[in-house]
Amino acid sequence: MLNRSTSNPSTRRIRRRSSNERTYKLDLDANHIESLIRWLCEESSDDFLAKAYRQRYQGLGERQQPHNQNNTWTQEDLCDVISAIQALLSSVTNPPSSMVAEAHSTIGIIHQRLNQDARATQSFMQALWVQASSDDVSPITIGMTKTRLALAYGRKGESQKAISLLEKAIQDFREGGLSEEHELVTRAKEALHAFHLAETARRNRSNSRRISQGAA
């Protein structure tokens, strides 16, 4: 049997969730993945599975640091992480909503890294649905998920959906107390501007085609 922490599970979950919200990572981050897998292992009801994944992913953050020459993610690495998160999440009895949302969001980030935009969109939507149904998720966390989902829509060419989500994400960031100069806010604004330009270009092309067809 694994040596489990004797601390109250709900206390551990709250502490873990708060730490994650202070990190503010939108993109693939090895430290975040290691932390999530460690959290899942702590709550897993399958000791054998938890021990195996804890040993496998311990030190992942350090191994993936820029100074490490072997820090390149391979497709196999990323697919293995998805499998690990899914297996561990399934082994947790009554997982807290924050854990479920974080797992789906992380899987979405990995799908996005793999250029699997449809799957990324689905994962981010699942995460957002869970977060919106929970009373203890900060506006900043919800805004981050909306930003990720917006970027996924944008990569699929769905600029209008991306624009709507980014506008809401910026409101969430402001509600959460972030300044206009904060990286999350500025990144959302930059993406919003880019998608507005893309949508304007799309409409201009559409209007040009209609004019050409009318002239013919």
Give per-residue pLDDT as tens, 199-209.
Answer: 888 888 877 77
Q: Read off the amino acid at residue 160.
A: Q
Enter the pTM of the model. Answer: 0.81
Give the residue among 30, 19, 102 at the shortest CA–CA distance from 60: 30
Q: Indicate the average pLDDT of the chain.
A: 86
In this model, does residue 103 exceed pLDDT 50? yes
Query: Which pLDDT does position 14 carry in this prediction?
Result: 40
Counting residues of the chain whose pLDDT is more than 70, the rounded percentage is: 84
Give per-residue pLDDT as tens, 136-186.
Answer: 889 999 999 999 999 999 999 899 999 999 999 999 999 999 999 999 999
- Higher pLDDT among residues 208 and 105, named by residue: 105
Query: Which pLDDT does position 70 carry in this prediction?
Result: 57
Task: Name, in order, each residue with C-beta under 8 angstroms of 90's C-beta and a sequence gap of 6 or more.
Answer: none
Query: Which pLDDT does position 72 carry in this prediction?
Result: 77
Give the residue among 155, 11, 25 at the shortest CA–CA distance from 102: 25
Contacts 24+ apart (CB under 8 A), 176-179: 176/138, 176/139, 176/140, 176/143, 177/140, 178/140
Query: Which pLDDT does position 66 carry in this prediction?
Result: 62
Give per-residue pLDDT as tens, 24-54.
Answer: 778 889 999 999 999 999 999 999 999 999 9
Query: Which pLDDT does position 215 carry in this prediction?
Result: 62
Q: Cα dihedral angle (35, 128, 192, 27), rounded to 10 degrees? A: 20
Question: Which residue segments constitute the domains of the chain, with CATH numbers given?
Answer: 1-137 (no CATH), 138-216 (1.20.58)
- Higher pLDDT among residues 6 and 201, named by residue: 201
Section 87-102 average pLDDT? 95
In this model, does residue 187 exceed pLDDT 50? yes
